[in-house]
Chains A and B, each alone.
Chain A
């Protein structure tokens, strides 16, 4: 099968992976900010994603412009991050537990937001429906691809804006202080950085992005669901780790690293789509996710072990040779 045939056969799967990967990439960047920059494994993400989706869905049903609902979804996510931050810095609850508290609390809150039910359909007034009809009117895209192209364009625009914003923000005094807080809190405090405030701020920004991502996911798939965030932290980590293992070195710039998180997210989605295509069930995907993360984490360790082993073998040969001479 040549490339053209392959693309014709699987193009929709690939494009679908890219589209989903971009939208979920917004969440992965949020996870990156806490997990990598702040060194804080924040599980509130699992609740925040669904909350963002619910807020957006409810507001759209209430007649609000779908773009404007993104702002409110982001704000809702920020509030969730604020809660986790306060739990951790004021009440000294360890990061994992602080995140879990927010996560389970948000489950109930999200159902409240959805008016008592666990999920909600969003009628046609979505960003994607609007954008789709514009693209359709140009008449240059094949009909089958239109949905995914719409989401891809939306995702790229949002991510470019987002990565630019974060790139500049983390170059400011406050942004640098957040990075220093994550890298070395002792040093940060000795240099007058109020580390507690930085932790809260980073959690607020991170969960704001996750809320935004939830809203985008809800609008693209046409529904919000309280279960949406389930397993999302692992998906976020998978995206980060895939991006890092395949593309990153330590000395790469911050903007590049953020972009690679998104690429990791896309690769994750493509693998995910392919596994479904080769006949696995939707319920198998959690196992696949766990395996992807496991493999991505194991690869560097195995690489290292092989290197050490080959060094040792070379070393053994050298000394064995010496003995033979003696």
Chain B
């Protein structure tokens, strides 16, 4: 469905601070794939997600969605195909707007904005049900400003926003990393549930190797701007954390796995 062909990206190109972030990423994402992405800091995981979302333009390579070249579409133009949840819980919602208005914005992700109402009469009831299904205890606080919610609640709302208008691809960039363990587990459960129930195609960056193994049907490992390991199905189901650590140590040629990789 989505194809990355030899994607290159260097930040600060042409200066002494030039930093190659992606050095030829090739990846084909199939319909219904739920891919977990792991790798050390600076491996290019978040950059890859941002390239798919269109936040950064590619230096080289090509991105195809359902056979159509979308390399030159910007972030706004690609938004109609993609739902995103960021690492920072503040980034996915507008603090000064109500839950209702935020959801209303998300509902219109795939269409052109007009002078019709930002939230129509029938929408609050519909959203109340959705929020209730998420079990956040927010269904009677829909007019509350999102800025008054906790990080976990905001992240859950962002997840709802990213998926309420079925995206072709759901991009999750370490979306539970900034949450406390209990909240993170809850948001992750919600994520799994919604991906399963709606049969979504998703790409999830995580630093937690157990989650990476437990969730999804496919796992990729990145290192120094490349995909160095891509495993799915039976083989993935049998993976252990030790396997991954070994794989990582091999890839980094003896450099020891960094602290964040070891967590989990």
Across-interface contacts of A171 in B (CB, < 8 A): 117-119
- 178-213 of chain A: CB within 8 A of chain B: 179-180, 183-184, 186-195
A192 to B77, CA, bound (A): 7
Asked whether, in the complex, the Cβ of A186 is within 8 Å of the Cβ of B118, the reply is no
Please give the distance in Å from A33's CB to the nearest CB on chain B. Answer: 14
B184 to chain A minimum Cβ distance, whole angstroms, is: 21
Assess whether A192 is in contact with B104, with CB atoms less than 8 Å apart: no
Q: Does A310 contact B (CB under 8 A)?
A: no
Chain B residue numbers with a CB within 8 Å of A180 are 94, 97, 105
B118:A189 contact, CB within 8 angstroms: no
On whether the beta carbons of B75 and A179 are closer than 8 Å, the reply is no
With A176-B105, A179-B96 given, is the CB distance from A189 to B117 under 8 Å?
Answer: no
Please report the C-alpha to C-alpha distance between residue A153 and residue B118 in the assembled complex, in whole angstroms: 33
Given A191-B161, A250-B145, are A173 and B95 neighbors across the interface (CB < 8 Å)? no
**Chain B binding site: helix, strand, loop or mixed by DSSP?**
loop
Tell me, rounded to whole Å, the shortest Cβ–Cβ distance linking B172 to chain A.
12
* Per-residue interface assignment for chain A, residues 262 to 302, with 1 indicating a CB less than 8 Å from any chain B CB and 0 otherwise: 00000000000000000000000000000000000000000
Comparing B14-22, B37-45, B106-114, the segment that makes contact with chain A is: B106-114
Stretch among B79-87, B201-209, B215-223, B234-242 lining the A interface: B79-87
B46 on the interface (CB 8 Å rule)?
no
B101 at the interface (CB under 8 A from A): yes
Find A172's partner among B76, B105, B116 (CB 8 Å cutoff). Answer: B116
Chain A residues within an 8 Å CB radius of B80: 192
Chain A residues lying within 8 Å of B113, measured Cβ to Cβ, are 173-174, 176-177, 193
Indicate if A325 sits at the interface (CB-CB under 8 A): no
A184 contacts across to B, CB distance below 8 A: 90-91, 93-95
Q: How far is the CB of B140 from chain A (nearest CB, A)?
A: 16
When distances are taken between beta carbons in the complex, the residues of chain A under 8 Å from B53 are: 190
Nearest A residue to B90, CB-CB = A184
SS class, residues of chain A in contact with chain B: helix
- For window 147-193 of chain A, which residues contact chain B by CB distance below 8 Å? 169, 171-177, 179-180, 183-184, 186-193
Q: How many A-B residue pairs have CB under 8 A?
A: 83
Structural contact, A189 and B114, CB atoms closer than 8 A: no
Chain A nearest CB, measured from B173 CB (Å):
11
Q: How many whole Å from B84's CB to the nearest CB in chain A?
A: 5
- Given A190-B53, A191-B108, verify A183-B118 contact (CB < 8 Å): no
Q: Check B92 for interface membership: any CB of A closer than 8 A.
A: yes
Q: A173-B113, A192-B108 are in contact. Are A187 and B92 (CB under 8 A)?
A: yes
The 8 Å CB contact of B93, one of A187, A193, A194, A195, is A187
Assembled-state Cα–Cα distance A164/B124 (Å) = 23
How far, in angstroms, from A301 to B109 measured CA to CA in the complex? 39
Task: With both chains docked as a complex, state the minimum distance between the C-beta of A91 and any C-beta of chain B, in angstroms.
Answer: 17
Pick the contact of B115: A173, A195, A250 (CB < 8 A): A173
CB neighbours of A187 from chain B (8 A): 91-94, 105
- A5 interface residue per 8 A CB criterion: no
User: A191 contacts which chain B residues (CB < 8 A)?
Assistant: 79, 105-106, 108-109, 161
With both chains docked as a complex, state the minimum distance between the C-beta of B93 and any C-beta of chain A, in angstroms: 6
Min CB gap A266→B, angstroms: 26
Q: Does A189 lie within 8 Å of B79, measured CB to CB?
A: yes
Hey, which bits of chain B sit against chain A, CB under 8 A? 53, 75-76, 79-80, 84, 86, 90-97, 101, 104-106, 108-110, 113-119, 145, 161
What are 11 sample pairs from A and B whose C-beta atoms fall under 8 A apart?
Answer: A172-B117, A173-B108, A173-B113, A173-B114, A180-B105, A184-B91, A184-B94, A187-B92, A191-B109, A193-B113, A251-B145
Binding site for B on A (CB under 8 A): 169, 171-177, 179-180, 183-184, 186-195, 250-251
The list of the 10 closest CB pairs from A to B, nearest first, reads A176-B118, A192-B79, A183-B94, A173-B113, A184-B94, A183-B96, A172-B115, A191-B109, A190-B84, A180-B94
| A-B contacts besides A171-B117, A173-B113, A186-B91, 8 pairs, CB < 8 Å | A173-B117, A175-B118, A179-B96, A183-B96, A190-B53, A190-B75, A191-B106, A192-B109
